[in-house]
Structure 1
Amino acid sequence: IVLLGNSITDAWPRADSAFFASKRYEYVGRGIGGQTSPQMLVRFRQDVLDLHPVAVAILAGINDIAENTGPYDQQATLNNVKSMTELAQANGIRVILCSVLPAYDFPWRKGREPAPKVMALNALIKAYAAQKHVTYLDYHSAMADSRQGLPPALAKDEVHPTLAGYRIMGPLLEQAVATALKKK
């Protein structure tokens, strides 16, 4: 199972090595800090297709919203997620589309007010997942506080999960993988 993403994906094995040692599924982390969805799409062949996984979990969008590589365009981000989904499906790889994690603010780009943008993008990703009959993994609902951000116990910097945050994500991922593997 390839986990495609950004710094949230990249840091997970270091933060919660016990989860990755459990070996219920073999997870291959392909997270690169700061990356946006177009950058993930560019590396999709080498980081996903060339590994021939049974499934890929795609976590993309937070750095798009943070405007790490230019102005945020919701439709462009969704289109990149769609392209990655189509590439995976064309290669017989089951797809898990992950919600963007909650974010109330970005420590590296203050005042962007990401929470409503995250919720809007998640709604589009969820609808697309339903349309394409792929598994939608909703991290957001399980982790959001009343501000629609990550509470301090789950992320000290508003964006990157703590061990407690990853411990919420782990069982949700396992459940999503089990669901995805049951799909034809």
Structure 2
Amino acid sequence: LSVSSLSLSAKVLVKDGEKIAFMGDSITQQGWSNPTGYVRLVVAGLKANGINVTPVPAGIGGHKSNQMLERLKRDVLDKNPDWMTLSCGVNDVWHGTNGVPLEPYKSNITAIVERCQAKGVKVMILTATVIGEEPDNPNNKKLAAYNDFLRKLAKEKKCPLADLNASFQKVLKAKKKPGLALTGDGVHMNPAGDRLMAEGILKAFGLTNRQIKKAEEAPAPVAK
């Protein structure tokens, strides 16, 4: 039993005692400020499996790739995390003419990943979730190119990928009832959306289905 337990934990990328920064926009900010937010669920899910991590919340509402790059040193690198999850893309598209076009977005995200890796910070890339719960609306169609880039970059830079967009699209395409399923307003998560995000991140960290089930039964940590 001890041998199988060791082999199980060896497949999990994040280790007990490590520090994880969560870089993002309002989805990530609420993922920490909300007691059932995805950041809290990830921390609680790891703890339920014997992996105690220190979170570094780094989500700021409205931020796009250029702003995340500008504050990367202050909000992440200066805090010396072992890991950083990167959630960026919704505002770059959603903000329209005030957003960030695809080519500058690619440059910004590549620079973020490269600066982290140069400092020894491992990066998990999250694909951007949704802009409205209609999978084929214009914003989601535009977002697809940004997510395709993120998938490609994750391969190139050997970063774990949590393909949250694919998970969200799958749920939304199977949705039978009218109304919102994963968000409160088409963008920001409801509890089901936060759970789906956390599940995707835990899977990308290497947790098994059994470990994720254990994680889902764990209470989220109390806000400090």
1:42-61 correspondence to structure 2 within 5 Å: 42-61=70-89
Paired with 1:71 and 1:63, the residues of 2 have a C-alpha distance of: 6
Bigger shift: 19-28 or 165-174? 19-28
Q: What's the counterpart of residue 139 of structure 2?
A: 114
Please state if 1:5 is matched with 2:32: no
Paired with 1:64 and 1:35, the residues of 2 have a C-alpha distance of: 8
AA of the residue aligned to 2:198: G
Root-mean-square deviation (Å) = 2.3
Q: What's the counterpart of residue 108 of structure 1?
A: none
Structure with the greater alpha carbon radius of gyration: 2
Paired with 1:69 and 1:177, the residues of 2 have a C-alpha distance of: 35
Paired with 1:84 and 1:177, the residues of 2 have a C-alpha distance of: 20
Q: 3-state SS of the aligned residue for 2:205? A: helix
**Aligned residues of 1:3 and 1:56 also touching (Cα < 8 A):** yes
Please list every run of 5 or more consecutive structure 2 residues that lacks an aligned counterpart in the other structure: 1-19, 208-224
Q: What's the counterpart of residue 154 of structure 1?
A: 182
Deviation track 1:99-127 (CA, whole Å, cap 9, x = no partner) reads 0002237xxxxxx8211111111011101
User: How many residue pairs were aligned?
Assistant: 171
**1:4–1:101 CA distance, 2 compared to 1 (3 A):** same
**Structure-1-length-normalised TM-score:** 0.84
Please list every run of 5 or more consecutive structure 1 residues that lacks an aligned counterpart in the other structure: 106-111, 180-184
TM-fit CA distance, 1:75:
1.0
Q: 3-state SS of the aligned residue for 1:63? A: helix
Paired with 1:68 and 1:104, the residues of 2 have a C-alpha distance of: 14
AA of the residue aligned to 1:123: D
Paired with 1:44 and 1:102, the residues of 2 have a C-alpha distance of: 24
The equivalent position to 1:176 in structure 2, one of 196, 204, 221, is 204
Deviation track 1:26-45 (CA, whole Å, cap 9, x = no partner) reads 32211000111100100000
Please state if 1:16 is matched with 2:43: no
TM-fit CA distance, 1:141:
1.1
Bigger shift: 23-32 or 134-143? 23-32
Deviation track 1:66-120 (CA, whole Å, cap 9, x = no partner) reads 2277254101111111000000000001011110002237xxxxxx821111111
**1:97–1:40 CA distance, 2 compared to 1 (3 A):** same
Larger RCO: 1 or 2 (CA < 8 Å, sep 6+)? 2
AA of the residue aligned to 1:12: G
**Aligned residues of 2:64 and 2:99 also touching (Cα < 8 A):** no
Aligned residues with identical type, % of pairs: 28
TM-fit CA distance, 1:136:
1.3
Please state if 1:85 is matched with 2:113: yes
Q: 3-state SS of the aligned residue for 1:133? A: coil
Bigger shift: 71-80 or 133-142? 71-80
**1:53–1:68 CA distance, 2 compared to 1 (3 A):** farther
Deviation track 1:109-154 (CA, whole Å, cap 9, x = no partner) reads xxx821111111101110111011111111111112239xxx7121
Deviation track 1:44-82 (CA, whole Å, cap 9, x = no partner) reads 001110111111001111111022772541011111110
